[in-house]
Amino acid sequence: MCVAAIAWDTHPDWLLVAIGNRDEFHARPSAPLARWEDGSGIIAGTDLTGGGTWLGVTEAQGGEGSRFALVTNYRVPEGAQPGRPSRGKLVTDLLVGTSPGELGGEMARMNPFNLILADGGRASFLTNYPEVETRTLSPGIHGLSNGGFDVPWPKTLQVGQAITDWCARGETDFEPLLAALRDEKPAPNPALPEFGPEPRFAPVFIRNETYGTRCSTVIAVDRQGRGTIIERSFDTLGGNSGEVGIEFVWPLT
């Protein structure tokens, strides 16, 4: 039950602000945020089972621009089907510059997903449910969870409001955004479709020893093309288990 919010091209100082929680089984191995050493320029965590990532950026290098991508599963009644192509690899492919058009057939075979892709001064929303679709992301605040795009689930609205308030205050400190991702209080009168029969999924931050919030991430790119990505990790009890912060360059042309 991951949740994220993105402020895209909606503030005079910030081109992109994105925050999100990765919720996953604690037993699924992963590596923390880092610059990948394969020459790709990717800065991301790594899913050591699927080999891809759930969220990351590509650092500008060799004349190539920067990219940002974030994927969430789309929750459907039948659940994820085994043996389908990795959605984490999709993020990796997009980060290294493969166009969505080149991946249309592969996306159709994947389990359902929502994805945000930003490339320089452009951004798009991608999904394969109920069919493969790519559309331009309009300037504004957008929420992403495990339902449809911009569906007003309470936890999605909470993280969207956190970005809205942060921008309105003219903040430069990212701690309030990380604190918002740590909120364990369910919204009042949450909508049942958000979590069905499992209310433990209702909070922004899920504390559970089997399946819970593994990390919180903040990404921000200012109008001068300076980028920052911060990842804070959590253990099975919900305690902080590490933090990584990396700066990068995001050309705007």
Rounded distance between C-alpha atoms, residue 110 and residue 225, angstroms: 33
Q: Evaluate whether 147 touches 154 at the Cβ level (below 8 Å).
A: no
Give how far Cα 228 sits from Cα of 6, 76, 149, 173, 248, Å.
14, 34, 25, 11, 6
Mean pLDDT for 230-240 is 97
In a 3-state reduction of DSSP, which class is residue 27? coil
Instruction: Please report which confidence band the pLDDT of residue 71 belongs to, taking 50, 70 and 90 as the band edges.
Output: very high
Tokens 């990717």 sit at which residue? 42
- Please, what is the average pLDDT of the chain? 91
Q: Which residues pair with 141 in a beta bridge?
A: 7
Please, where are the H alpha helices in the chain? 87-95, 104-109, 154-168, 175-181
pLDDT tens sequence across 104-119:
999 999 999 999 999 9
Q: Which residues pair with 16 in a beta bridge?
A: 8, 221
pLDDT tens sequence across 142-155:
999 888 788 888 89
Structural domains in the chain, sorted by start: 3-249 (3.60.60.10)
pLDDT tens sequence across 197-209:
456 678 999 999 9
* Confidence (pLDDT) at 64: 65
